Structure formats: C-alpha cells, structure tokens
Amino acid sequence: MSSRRILFFTNSDYGQANVVLATIHSLLHQDPAVEIHIASFHELQAAVREASDFAIRTAPDESSRKPVVFHGMAGLTWGPALFRPETGVADANQLKPGLVNSTKAVLTLPAIMLPWTAEEYIEIYSETERVLAEVNPDLTVVEPLFTTALTVCHRRQLRWMVLAPNTVKDFALPLQPRLAMLWKYPLVCSAMPYPLTASLIPRNIFLTLVAGYALVTDTRVKKITAALHEVDPSASLLTANELGVLKPAPPGLRILVANSPDIDFPFAVLPKHVTPCGPIVRAALPVADVDPELASWLSRGPTVYVNLGTQLKVVPEEAEEMAQALRSVLERSARKEAVGKNGDMVRLQILWKLARKPQEGVAKLVKDVYDGPWKKVIDVLRPYVDADRVRITEWVKAEPKSVLESGAIVCSVNHGGASSFNEALCAGIPQAVLPAWADCYDFANRAELLGVGRWANREARPRWERNELSAVLSDVLFGPGAETIQTKAREIAHCHPESEGRENAAREILTELAA
C-alpha cells in the first residue's frame, strides 16, 4: 500500500511559511506513514530541510519517519514582489496613519493580495501545475497568499484545504450582524483602536468603502485574469479575498487559522468554514542547546527582548531614538522606588536584535559593527554595553521562541507580527507592541484587549518616540499594572501551550486526509 501524500504550497516568506513548518513537525510526530511534500520558492529549501530533520530527530520512533520532500519553484515569492516601488506598499508603510495616509495604505490592498505582474503570475501558475502533476497528492494544503495554488486547486476540484497564519477576524468581519465591520472593528491598515470611538466611526466606514472599491476595480486583477484565461480558459482567479471576505468561500473548503476566539476580538458570528487551531508556532531547541553562552548571559538577570522581525529595518535616527528609550528604562530599573517588590529589576538587561537598513552613499554594513552614523546608537547605551547588560546584534542564533521560553525574558518588544505575538503569548511573556503596518496594528489592539501588554507607539506610529516608548515599557515592567499584565500573560499561556496550534492543525489535516 502506497503512502498517503500531503502537498503544501507556501510562499518562502517566514510570515507565511512558519505555520507550514510548524505543522509538518506535528504531522511527522502524529503519523509516521504520511508522506509530506512542500512546494515553495528556493529560498525556503534550507528551512524545510532543518524543520524536517528536527521533527524526525525528536519523533518517538525516528526510523519510521520519512523526510519532507521539497519542490523548488521558479518565480518571485510574495514579500519581494510586494515591496517593490511600483506597488506603493513600502511608501505607504512609512506614512503616519490618518484619514489621508490610511486611505493611501488601503489602496494598496489589491497589491498585498496579488503583488505579481501578469507574466510573473503565469510563471508561478505553470510551476504550480508542474508540482501537482509530479506529486499527485491525496490532499493539498495551501497558504492563502499562494494565489496560484488556490486557483489551480479550485479549478481542478482537488481535495484541498487552507492553512493560514491569519486570525479569525480576517474571515469573520463580513458575517457580523448590523454591519458591525463598519462601526465596531477597525479596518486593517487603519491603525485605529478597538473598540472604535464614535468620532472614528465615519473614518472607518470611509476606509472600508475605499477598500471595497479598490479590490473590485483594481486593474492588477483584470490583467492577471486576462493572462490566466489565455493559458487556461476554464480557470477563475482565486485570491484570499474569495475565501469568505469579498465572496463566499468555495463550497466545502475548510480553512485552518492560527488563532482562536478567546484570543481575538469578540465576534457574534463565527464562520463555519473556518477552524481555529490556536496559535501555531514552530517547535525549537532550547537556547542552551543552540547557544550556551547566550543562555548563560540570559540567566544573569531579567531581560527585555527587542526583536522587530526581519522586514522592519531601521535607519540610525530610529535606532538612536529606541536606544534613548531603552536607556531611560534601564536607569529607572536601578531606582529602588520604581522597582518596588521586584528587586531583581535592578539587574535588568536588554537583548536587542537590530535589523539595519542600508543607506545610499554609506559604506556597506558589516555585521555587528556600529560605526559612522550607527556609533550614536552604541554611545547612548555605552555604560550598559560596556557592562554587558545590553547586547545589540543583527543575528541571534537561537530562535526567538527559544529566547522567549528561556525563563529570563520579562518583556517582548515586537512589531506585532503574528508569529512574534503568538510566540510571546504562548510563552507567557508581557508585550510592548510597536506595529508598523497592516494587521500589526490589530495585534497591538489584541495585546491591550487581552491584558497581556501595551501598544507602545500609539502616538508615534508607524515608528516610535523615546518618551512614549520608555513610559510604556516602564509601565509593563514595573508600573502599577505590571503585576496584572504578568498574571494575565501567564494565564493565557497556560490555556495555550506552545504545541497546541500545530498539533491541532496536524490533527485536522490528518482527519481530512482520512475522510
């Protein structure tokens, strides 16, 4: 009897691929007979191999597990395609949200859903058809921004499902009674609070109408549809918007999401075709197994972990502004009156993963060398850097999740990406969220709604300002509500252990495979 085959399609960007890499870990643990294939762009190959090896090495019976088979595809993955100048997304992300600037951001939504040119799309479409023919899977699982696979699976009426890094909100809004999506929930990209205040409701309605207009009339969709019909007249373009957002999802299609109702905005109606799995995070080795020296350093005292992801790269002025905020927090931690009962805070230290943006006319960046305009960043924190209480680096060998689970982290300063938010949530770590674009603002709202942290740049968005950031960090670490935040973070982590989401997703996929 031949093995049952599952084929995953995902972009190589970690924001999309992480849920797939996490889920294959549990699939390999739960069913040794399953044969797993992953189709993606070549940049993901090494990560797939590492995830496969780690899953097999930690499985109950290593010898019975089959390595994941990777299928490299020609073409451009979602992120690099999206952040090209012609899409306008990068420019819109730099603007301070408001009526005019948020309108500009909302007008880029079609590009976010479909960032490829017609020629690029057709190339990936052809590659998708090729991989499907090679693998002939029993079940196909698609990440929702891998648009060609959505389209092909729907046209060929394959057995397929969607595995999304998204939240319940991304699919539930259109179903809410009394048009609540207009007056209750902030539109993605709007950077408005939840619940909406009365004064902001007109703006939210306007931005929602703009979004609908942009998605319906965008020429990008028309050009790709025309090109698609030239190679496949029977195909109907399917994007994430046709998964129950602008149009009903295809009948019978199931969507697994890395979220659950108790950690999302409250909804009166939940979509029946969406299965919440809980936070889906990747398994990872402990810090001590990967970087013993870092583990030893972390054990010296409570640590603030600053990691704004890979996409958010900063210029020297922005890094210096953050350095000033961090210095203020370190200075306050040394004051006995600010520390209160938690005397350990006098030993507070900071691990800062700093992603730097190269600048025109400036010498090429050298890893962890901070000279020229970057020297000011180090100078601001010089006493603490020299005392080895602040470490600034462009690369941390251990996974962010492993750092958060080290037992030393007292606050995660992150950009509100789904993976960063969920990893801190499952580790029970208070958060200071610095959202910079799109759905990151939703996660800042969730941090406050759940009581596990604070939105740390509400005024300075989409970047940060030293006084606002230092005040929020001080509140999270040793303010009057700090103990409440810590307790709530631990309670939610208890309800959502780090393995929950990937194990649930794997079970749902295996159930679908056996149906």
The pairing of strands 69-73 and 139-142 is unpaired
Model pLDDT, residue 197: 95
Query: In the chain, which residues have pLDDT < 50?
Result: 1, 336-337
Model pLDDT, residue 246: 84
Per-residue pLDDT tens over the stretch 223-251: 999 999 999 999 999 999 999 888 889 99
Model pLDDT, residue 247: 87
C-alpha distances in angstroms, 31 versus 4, 36, 280, 462?
A: 10, 11, 18, 44
What the chain holds in terms of domains, given with CATH numbers, is 5-282+499-514 (3.40.50.2000), 287-495 (3.40.50.2000)
Model pLDDT, residue 1: 41
Per-residue pLDDT tens over the stretch 128-177: 999 999 999 999 999 999 999 999 999 999 999 999 999 999 999 999 99
- Taking the C-alpha atoms of residue 501 and residue 352, their distance in angstroms, rounded to an integer, is 28
Yes or no: say if 513 and 6 are a contact pair by the CB < 8 Å rule: yes
Q: What's the pTM value of the predicted model, to 2 decimals?
A: 0.95
- Taking the C-alpha atoms of residue 335 and residue 331, their distance in angstroms, rounded to an integer, is 7
Helix residue ranges per DSSP H, 8-67:
14-30, 45-57
178: left (phi over 0), alpha (psi -120 to 50) or beta: left
Per-residue pLDDT tens over the stretch 344-361: 678 999 999 999 998 876
Q: What are the backbone dihedrals phi and psi of residue 429, each rounded to the nearest 5 degrees, phi first?
A: -105, 125
Per DSSP, the three-state class of 503 is helix
Per-residue pLDDT tens over the stretch 9-52: 999 999 999 999 999 999 999 999 999 999 999 999 999 999 99
- Taking the C-alpha atoms of residue 269 and residue 181, their distance in angstroms, rounded to an integer, is 12
The mean predicted confidence, pLDDT, of the chain is: 94
The three state secondary structure string of 443-462 is HHHHHHHHCCEEECCCCCCC
Segment holding 40, helix H or strand E: strand 35-41
